[in-house]
Amino acid sequence: MTTPAELFDLTGRVALVTGGSRGLGKAMVLAFAAAGADVVIASRKLDNCKALADEVEATTGRRALAHACHVGDWKQVELLADAAYEHFGHVDVLVNNAGMSPIYDSVANVSEELYDKVFAVNLKGPFRLTALVGTRMAEGNGGSIINVSSFGSMRPYGGIVPYAAAKAGLNTMTEAFAQALGPQVRVNCIVPGTFYTDISKAWDMDAIREGAKRFALQRGGEPDEIVGAALYFASDASSYTTGAVLPVHGGIP
């Protein structure tokens, strides 16, 4: 009988995480490495990726590749996939975590450029990277793909219209890719609620904490609290789970 520790063991696997240098992505990178995986850390800022890669190698002994990539750029996504396979030979876990949700004062003032950028980063990039890596996974030994959405995709409001629409598309794409890439590749989605990451430093934290009191857990989440869901989907613990869209939001009513 397989033990729980064995189910969650990622030894010998390679995990690629976009938006991996900070926030939820950083928490997942560190967790995957601690579970035995080598990691590819991708974000727009190479220096941040390199700093985390050095931390991973120093603290876990796992190998780490830092790679600069703007996931909204089709060509850069292709170069990222190629770099991961050239360096490690395979990718077993892909996490489409990179995202953006710019602030605007009114929907009428959302420019075409801003709209296209939001969809490129949140939906186009994950589509292309999933297609590229998922196809190679399906032709090889299989793998797990994890999309990171937002609870705004389920409870949208006027301040995040393009972002909410793009993330809702990511939820739908999760289920579609599960069918397109099965049975070799599992595709699932984590839907985070309010998490106190680097981005939250720009928020009105008093207002955020007051609003979080209506959650079942009466608080926002810490980055490490995404790790359980990520390890579940990345590992053999979720071997019969695909096409799932899992909210992790502390009980938003």
Predicted confidence (pLDDT) per residue in 110-156, tens digit: 999 999 999 999 999 999 999 999 999 999 999 999 999 999 999 99
What is the 3-state composition of the chain as percent helix, strand, coil, each rounded to the nearest 5?
Answer: 50, 15, 30
User: Taking the mean position of all CA atoms in its chain, how far away is CA 75?
Assistant: 20
pTM for the whole structure: 0.96
Query: What is the distance between the alpha carbons of residues 144 and 151, in angstroms, rounded to a whole number?
Result: 22
When divided into structural domains, the chain yields a total of 1
For the question of residue 163 being annotated catalytic, the response is yes
Residue 86 falls inside a structural domain: yes
- pLDDT, one tens digit per residue, over 205-234 is 778 888 889 999 999 999 999 999 999 999
253 part of a folded domain: no
Q: How far is CA 17 from CA 31, 77, 97, 108, 234, in A?
A: 12, 12, 7, 34, 11
Q: Could you give the percent of the chain with pLDDT greater than 90?
A: 92
Residue 174 within a domain = yes
Contact 251, 215 (CB under 8 A): yes
Question: Rounded distance, CA 131 to CA 37, Å?
Answer: 22
Task: Look at residue 198 in the predicted model and tell me its pLDDT.
Answer: 77
Tell me the per-residue pLDDT of 76-113, one tens digit each, with 9 for 90 and over.
Answer: 999 999 999 999 999 999 999 999 999 899 999 999 99
For the segment 169-192, the average pLDDT, to the nearest whole number, is 98
Range with lowest mean pLDDT among 66-70, 74-78, 201-205, 206-210: 201-205
- Residue 131 has a pLDDT of 98
* Residue 197 confidence (pLDDT): 86
Question: The domain spanning residue 76 has which CATH number?
Answer: 3.40.50.720
Which range (127-141, 171-185, 190-204, 235-249) has the least confidence? 190-204
pLDDT of residue 137: 98
Q: Is residue 250 part of a domain?
A: no
Predicted pLDDT at 48: 98
Q: Which two tokens stand for residue 134?
A: 């998922």
Q: What is the pLDDT of residue 206?
A: 78
pLDDT of residue 94: 99
Tokens coding 151: 């609870």
In a domain? residue 79: yes
Separation between Cα atoms, residue 46 and residue 55, nearest integer Å: 14
Confidence (pLDDT) at 243: 98
In DSSP notation, 55-105 reads HHHHHH---EEEEE--TTSHHHHHHHHHHHHHHHS---EEEE--------S
Between 197 and 150, name the one with better pLDDT: 150
| Domain of 202, in residue numbers | 4-244
pLDDT for the residue numbered 146: 99
Distance CA 31, CA 224 (A): 9
| Closest listed residue to residue 24, CA positions, set 150, 134, 144, 213 | 150
Catalytic residue among 163, 196, 232, 240: 163
User: Does the residue 38 lie in any domain?
Assistant: yes
For residue 78, give every residue at least 6 positions away whose Cβ sits within 8 Å of its Cβ, in sequence order, or none: 128, 132
Band (pLDDT 50/70/90 cuts) for residue 201 is low
Q: Is 136 helix (H, G, I), strand (E, B) or coil?
A: helix
Phi and psi, residue 250, nearest 5°: 75, 10
CB 74 within 8 A of CB 119: no
- Domain assignment present for residue 252? The answer is no
Domain presence at residue 249: no
